[in-house]
Amino acid sequence: MRVLVTGKDGQVGRELAALPHTEFEMVMAGRGDCDLAREESIRSLVRRVAPDAIVNAAAYTAVDKAETEQDLCFAVNATAPGALAEEAARLGALLIHYSTDYVFDGTKGGPYVESDPVAPLNTYGASKEAGERAVAAANGRFLVLRTSWVYGSHGKNFLSTMLRLAQERPEIRVVDDQIGAPTSAGAIARATARLLRQYALPSTSVPSGIYHMTAGGSTSWCGFARAIFEARSAGANPQAVNPRILNPRVVAITSEEYPTPAKRPKNSRLSNDRFNLFFGFHMPQWQEQMAEVVAAVRQPNLVSFLRTPGERE
Ligand code: NDP
């Protein structure tokens, strides 16, 4: 089975590339192979590769910058997935596409389910919501997997930012009134491989639709930061490191005390019930995923990891 993966250099793309896919022929595409802002570039890539399945791990994820780059953000997050979905439908291939908790406004009292009305607060969320609709409109076989707060051992993300700040200051102020499920890129990649195994063959019936696929449990950004430092301290050699650097004081603040160009939802919790029921497995708890990533970055490549440039959701 040939699987075309876009966004090979992103957080999820790199984890997909690192999986042992003995049963898949993975064709990994990056920006150099296909510019997702150019529709003809997408169509010619898909026609050239002729995949059985496509995993679209590419996206415009610079949430704050999107407020001033709306056209580019919509081209990559809405038009491009639509073109991928049309090409997939033409081939009878399954498209797996990722979306986000940011399609919601965060005012619901409990976890969001797939049928809840969308109401994005920012350009990025609106573009991803438009992407979901474009994928569905192609009438092919597709899975839109909404996930949240993605981080991993590659690229710049919340975890890498916290570890970098811990080297620079004894106290870090972190937003405590946004609640969600930090989900590791590795866990997303492993779940994606499982879905491909189960549903990519044309002979299997594909339950096309939107599914919430986040880590189990939830926390605030502040809770996530504290847990990261605790996990790092727990595995560290106290003789080898400065304990203040490992464990800075994390001060809880409100979203209003940390203004950003793009507004974020306060409640980002997504219910995975539909995913669990349909696919028959659960995503691991966020603490378990975080411990795995902290262990992966603790040792050899920490310095280069901390220095990787970029801006992520
Ligand atoms: P990353 O930002 O880590 O990676 C995105 C990739 O898309 C990058 O490799 C980037 O290329 C590529 N890309 C961007 N623009 C283009 C373009 N015009 N042409 C070709 N490639 C392009 O994303 P994640 O791995 O974090 O996200 C994976 C999915 O999960 C996305 O759909 C995202 O919306 C969704 N998601 C992410 C969340 C998060 O917190 N990050 C939260 C919820 C959902 P390059 O490396 O060259 O810049």
Q: What letter represents residue 92's amino acid?
A: G
* 9 Cα to the center of ligand 1, angstroms: 8
Atom of ligand 1 nearest to the CA of 37: 18
* 61 Cα to the center of ligand 1, angstroms: 5
The answer to whether 121 touches 267, Cβ cutoff 8 Å, is: no
pLDDT of residue 241: 55
> Which protein residues touch ligand 1 with a CB less than 6 Å away?
7, 9-13, 30-31, 34-37, 57-61, 76, 98, 100, 128, 147-150, 155, 185, 312-313
pLDDT of residue 200: 74
pTM for the structure as a whole? 0.92
* 285 Cα to the center of ligand 1, angstroms: 23
Q: Is the dihedral of CA 131, 136, 141, 144 positive or negative?
A: positive
Site to substitute for ligand 1 among 28, 31, 270, most atoms within 8 A of C-beta = 31
Q: Is 258 a catalytic residue?
A: no
Annotated catalytic residue within 98, 112, 124, 199: 124
User: How long, in residues, is the chain?
Assistant: 313
**Phi, psi of 26, rounded to the nearest 5 degrees:** -90, 125
Q: Running DSSP on this structure, what letter comes out for residue 242?
A: -
Measure the CA–CA gap between 163 and 160, rounded to whole angstroms. Answer: 5
pLDDT of residue 23: 82
**Each residue's pLDDT expressed in tens, for the chain with a length of 313 residues:** 999 999 999 999 999 999 986 788 999 999 999 999 999 999 999 999 999 999 999 999 999 999 999 999 999 999 999 999 999 999 999 999 999 999 999 999 999 999 999 999 999 999 999 999 999 999 999 999 999 999 999 888 999 999 999 888 889 999 999 999 999 999 999 999 999 988 877 777 768 999 999 999 999 999 999 999 988 887 665 555 555 556 789 999 999 999 899 999 999 999 999 999 989 899 999 999 999 999 888 764 444 444 333 334 5
pLDDT of residue 240: 55
Question: Considering all CA atoms of the chain, what is the largest pairwise distance in Å, rounded to the nearest integer?
Answer: 60
Beta bridge partners of 216: 285
pLDDT of residue 201: 73
pLDDT of residue 118: 98
